[in-house]
Structure 1
Amino acid sequence: MSGPTAGAVPTLELEDIQGTVLRRRPDVYHGVYLLYRIDDPAAAKRSLREVLPEVTSAADWDRPRPFTLNVAFTYRGLARLGVPPGSLASFSPEFRAGMAARKEVLGDLGASDPGNWPPPLGGPDVHIGVVIIATAPEGLHEPVAAAGRLAGVSLVYRLDVGSPVTGREHFGFRDGISSPYLLGSAERSLPGQDAVQPGEFLFGYPDESGAAPAGPAPDVLGRNGCYLAFRQMHADVAAFRRYLRDQARSPEDEELLAAKIVGRWRSGAPLALAPEHDDPDLGADPTRNNDFRYHDDPRGLLVPRGAHIRRANPRDGLADTVVETGIHRVLRRGAAYGPLLPAGALEDDGAERGIIFIFMGASLSRQFEFVQQVWLNDGDFAGLGPEQDPLVGNSGGAGVHTIPARPVRRRLTGLPRFVTVRGGEYCFLPGLAAIAWLTALPDPAGGPSAAPHSSTSEDDR
């Protein structure tokens, strides 16, 4: 990897960085996502000033606490709070446009089209996002009650999330294993983690080029902040189970096919290290379950080149290409919502279930949108032509997934849509000093009028 990664380690201002950027959630947790519309900007800013002491920073993360709380804002929300036009214009075009307007880039088409998203997601009424995480259900009571007393806003969305009792997401896989390591984050890296300069994710620090990327202006607004992409994704678990059953030659082959689609066994054990059989001990060991590369598997005989984890993070699999994988990494936080489909059930029960994904970084277009458009929704980067990600691709019944093998490869065809986007938003996750700055802004002229909104085109990316 090029860039200054091997140089001096930067000092991060942990007290000003919101904790969810740098700190992983506990293995077992309960949480809630809340979205608000700003009705009275002046009252909303007073409420935010009262909430600010409860916003969790990245400092002293190991200190026992009943809950963590973090706050983000959409472009419309920032405008409603009175951010000056010049500052609003300093945000990236895709952030100003919003996620719904970027549907062609993201592949949010067909059933995932924003026209099918239930309100308020993708609409004009989402201004503030709050995420609260606790290790026990009772830990949510106080912060949720406090959030319910916010003045000048209306709650327009609530979704309860958490870690399923199985410890795995709805498709049955252990989640949240792979993540980049931010230099200077005060956490020790795990074997297999890529060390990445913090400017790839946070404004105010050098990125992989050695320079600090331009962030929102003024500096107090942008520093220690990052962009955040919020996605609610429905999981058709029954369809996944039926497809595996119909394609498999045996129950053991069913599990192998699932692993070849994802790149890991359900336990989290990577195919790169356990190609023949699942290894639950390996899957549960954070010192081993992410410590692998693809340099000795160029054809994908162990991990198919189109497998989900190889697409989302090609590691060194693109070493002989012009692609610099380090500048396309994202920080990700995932959470399950909805009841588990009963074990063995092959028919959908009508319940809404899925995953909330949060992607964080300094560039929506270069990181989140690039991964979504080029690595997940296109097979050309891996020499796979029109193939899409077999798990989260938008193939709609015509998907193909190639599994290299000797003497003859195996090809899965007719892949249905296993994941449908239910909605999403582009947000800005500011530093704590920036939140204080926002609460001190004068009210916009003319009172609580509709916030300005701009759009962007493909040429703006």
Structure 2
Amino acid sequence: MSNSSQIEMNDIQGLILRGYNFPHIRYIIFSIKNTDGAKQFCADLASGTAPGGLSITNAEPWENMEKPDYCLNIGFTYSGLEKLIGTANSNAVERHSSREVFKSFKKGAVEDAGQMGDTGESAPANWWKNGGWIPKEVPTANGSELHIQLTLFTLTPENREKYYAALLGMITETPSGPAVIPVYYQDSDPITVDGNSDYVHFGYRDSLSQPRIDDIIWEKPKMRKLMGISSIDDRPKVPLDRFVISQKAKDYYAHTLLVNGTFSAFRLLYQDEAKFNTFIHSNTEISPELMAAKMCGRWRDGTPLVVSPDKEDKSLGEPSTKNFNFTNFNYLTPSPNQQGDQSSDELALKCPYAAHIRRANPRDDINVKGNDDNAETHRIVRRASPYGPVYDRAEKPGIQRGLVGLFIGAVLDFQFRFVTRLWLEQGGFRNPDASPNYSGVDPIFGPQADDTSPDNFVFAYNENGTYTETPNLTRFVRTDGSLYLFLPGISGLKYISQGIIPPPLTVN
């Protein structure tokens, strides 16, 4: 694996390796109308030399650890990449890359929707229509006009408007109009509970368990201390090539254009808070708060059930929100930083197998299908944030709210697609299933509209040594938009802006 002295921090987009923690964000999708003008737009973003223009933020540390006024990152759909570098070059990149690396990206989110569970109300025919779509014309069925996705991070709402205007001012004007035009945008602003702004809709504290990426500066104890983050963290580290594409990776190979870049699923997810609240109040045998905790695997404040099964416990502190295991098998050493209850939960008596955080990251439970390395192969970096107002029970129906952002991994097939298909959406999560908890899907998402398995419409959880079943589990999250994106390195972006590709690596 690459070590920190070899990582080209100035060539990697910053959001891949760390969260910026900027409160006011705008996610924008652009359509290319003039290829030459779009190339110039990309060149200016890569170089940062356009007068009054913006530049793509790389992964280098900020001077004096002070946040800049904005951060900006860019990704391309396959149709966008093909427009800029041409079909022949796109085919060449595909030929010199692993099937797992490039095929799903080329296939795209629309064609992949059925595999990802995006059916019924979540089907592509309904995408981009619930607020944020700018043109008068409705989106096309295949999404082929969606080419570039930019994310603008700012410290204030005023700066968001200021730098968005500056971004639009960089676009080349042609005789027929702007070379690229925004077709969709979604703003994100923080939800604050008890002074903490890390909350999302459904009322949970979020962003607690991003992967520890091996041997990067942001994981060094000194840097974590400077950033005000606890250095007490002994979770397994994930190799850098899971998130930054490398030509030295052991289980995939990639064209030179892709190096120092990565792939991502951009997701716009509507959250039906009214349905969710109805469900957690539907079982009179337990409190709504316990029901919500069982569904997520954490109490609302972030306390994991395996650490504190009976109540929120803010006294445990940061390590216990991250450093915990589910099974603690004898040949694995329990984390010394796990506070509270450290007994094994192999039978899911504290945290149900179906619980969201257990399914998204099963940690040390190697009985989970496909998890023989502490979920290392399948970890995802989440750069997603809430949109829309906080839920009010007295509000009128139809208010849009949810989660929007990027789910990042160097290999979509190993990471986003694997976790979504096999751990969140399908039954048989753990084999053998040693408990009566037969809920077959992640309860936060709920069963798909075309799901025919009656077991998937029941949420089962342990209480006082027995399992309680709550029927009528339904879909609480709807996909309102999705893109598969390539996030290039800065040098890759410069090649794209010229409409060319570097030569592929020669293998002896």
Same fold (TM over 0.5): yes
Task: Indicate how the Cα distance of structure 1 residues 235 and 320 shifts in structure 2: closer, same or farther if over 3 A, else same.
Answer: closer
Q: How far did residue 442 of structure 1 move?
A: 6.2
| Secondary structure in structure 2 of the residue aligned to 1:37 | strand
- Does structure 2 retain, via aligned residues, the 8 Å contact 1:230–1:357? yes
Cα displacement string for residues 404-456 of structure 1 (whole angstroms, at most 9, x for unaligned residues): 3444211122111110110100000000011111112269xxxxxxxxxxxxx
Cross-structure match for 2:184: 157
Measure how far apart 1:318 and its partner are. 1.9
- What letter is aligned with 1:234? Y
**2:145 counterpart letter in structure 1:** D
The reply to whether residue 143 of structure 1 matches residue 148 of structure 2 is no
Aligned counterparts of 1:180 and 1:85: Cα–Cα separation in 2: 31
Deviates more, 1:105-114 or 1:261-270: 105-114
Cα distance 1:213–1:9, how it changes in 2: closer, same or farther (>3 A)?
farther
Q: Which residue of 1 aligns with 2:226?
A: none
2:384 aligns with one of 334, 355, 359: 334
Kindly report the root-mean-square deviation, in angstroms, between the aligned alpha carbons of the 2 structures: 2.3
Of 238, 241, 265, the match for 1:196: 238
Select 1:359's aligned residue among 392, 396, 407: 407
**1:49·1:439 contact (CA, 8 Å) conserved in 2?**
yes
Structure 1 residues 330 and 190, CA gap change in structure 2 (3 angstroms): farther
> Is residue 433 from structure 1 mapped to residue 462 from structure 2 by the alignment?
no
Count of aligned positions: 425
**Separation in 1, partners of 2:352, 2:362:** 11
Match of 1:97 among 97, 107, 112: 107
Is it true that 1:86 corresponds to 2:91 in the alignment?
Answer: yes
Q: In the alignment, is residue 172 of structure 1 matched against residue 229 of structure 2?
A: no
For the 8 Å contact 2:119–2:448, the answer to whether it is kept is no
Matches within 5 A, 1:398-437: 399-437=457-495
Q: 1:25 to 1:410 in 2, by over 3 A?
A: farther
Q: Is the 8 A contact 2:39 2:84 kept in 1?
A: yes
Q: d(CA) in 2 for partners of 1:86 and 1:97?
A: 13
Provide the C-alpha distance between the structure 2 equivalents of 1:320 and 1:263, rounded to a whole number of angstroms: 16
Going from structure 1 to structure 2, the CA distance change for 1:321 and 1:368 (only over 3 Å counts) comes to: closer
Q: Secondary structure at the match of 1:98?
A: helix
2:27 to 33, 41, 47: 33
Q: Which amino acid aligns with 2:85?
A: G
For residues 232 and 110 of structure 2, what CA distance do their matches in structure 1 show? 36
Name the structure 1 match of 2:445: 392
Cα deviation 1:260-300 (Å, max 9, x = unaligned): 00000110111111111112344xx4333111000110011
Q: What displacement does 1:131 show? A: 0.1
| Letter of the 1:179 counterpart | Q
Distance 1:412 1:205, change over 3 A: farther
Q: d(CA) in 1 for partners of 2:280 and 2:394? A: 11
Give the Å deviation of 1:159. 0.7
Contact 1:200/1:206 (<8 A) preserved: no
Q: Cα deviations across residues 345-395 of structure 1 (Å, max 9, x unaligned)? A: 177632111101411111111111110011001121223666110001334
Aligned-pair distance for 1:63? 3.6
> Secondary structure of the residue that 2:429 maps to in structure 1?
helix
Residue aligning to 2:133: none
Question: What SS class does the counterpart of residue 104 from structure 1 fall into?
Answer: coil
Q: 2-side partners of 1:13 and 1:213: how far apart? A: 20
Pairwise mapping of residues 207-246 of structure 1 onto structure 2 (< 5 A)? 207=249, 211=250, 213-215=252-254, 217=255, 219=256, 221-246=257-282
Match of 1:310 in 2: 358
Match of 2:151 among 131, 149, 157: 131
Distance 1:67 1:57 in 2: 12
1:107-118 to 2 correspondences below 5 Å? 107-117=117-127, 118=129
Which residue is equivalent to 2:67? 64
Asked if structure 1 preserves the Cα contact closer than 8 Å seen for 2:439 and 2:460, the reply is: no
Whether the 8 Å contact between 1:306 and 1:379 is mirrored in structure 2 is: no
Shift of 1:8: 6.5
Partner of 2:218: 187
Alpha-carbon distance in structure 1 between the residues aligned to 2:77 and 2:93: 11
Query: CA separation in 2, counterparts of 1:395 and 1:82?
Result: 38
Cα 1:10–1:169 shift into 2, 3 Å = same
Q: Which residues of structure 2 form unaligned runs of 5+?
A: 49-54, 130-137, 173-178, 220-230, 328-343, 502-508
2:222 — aligned with what? Answer: none
Structure 1 unaligned segments of length 5 or more: list them.
Answer: 444-461
- Counterpart check, 1:294 vs 2:326: yes
Mapped partners of 2:232, 2:16: distance in 1: 17
Q: Cα distance 1:288–1:10, how it changes in 2: closer, same or farther (>3 A)? A: farther
1:213-236: CA deviations, max 9, x gaps?
A: 312x2x1x1110011101101000
2:223 corresponding residue in structure 1: none
Q: Give the aligned partner of residue 459 of structure 1.
A: none
Q: Distance in 2 between matches of 1:348 and 1:400?
A: 29
Q: Which amino acid aligns with 1:341?
A: Y
Say if 1:204 and 1:212, in contact at 8 Å, map to a contact too.
Answer: no
Q: Residue 106 of structure 1 aligns to a residue in which SS?
A: coil
Aligned residue type for 2:107: A
Q: Provide the residue aligned with 2:224 in structure 1.
A: none
2:263–2:412: 8 Å Cα contact kept in structure 1? yes
Are residues 1:266 and 2:284 paired?
no
Structure 1 29/423 Cα, relative in aligned 2: closer, same or farther at 3 Å? same
Contact 2:325-2:364 at 8 Å conserved across structures: yes
State whether residues 227 and 360 of structure 1, in contact with CA within 8 Å, keep that contact through their aligned partners in structure 2.
yes
Distance 1:332 1:214 in 2: 24
- 1:14 deviation in Å? 0.9
3-state secondary structure, aligned to 1:393: coil
Q: Is the CA contact (8 Å cut-off) linking 2:77 and 2:483 kept in structure 1? A: yes
Q: Distance in 1 between matches of 2:111 and 2:5?
A: 36
Question: 2:8 aligned with 1:13, yes or no?
Answer: yes
Residue 376 of structure 1 corresponds to 424
**1:306 Cα deviation (Å)?**
0.9
- Farther off after superposition, 43-52 or 413-422: 43-52
Asked whether the 8 Å contact 1:378–1:385 carries over to 2, the reply is no
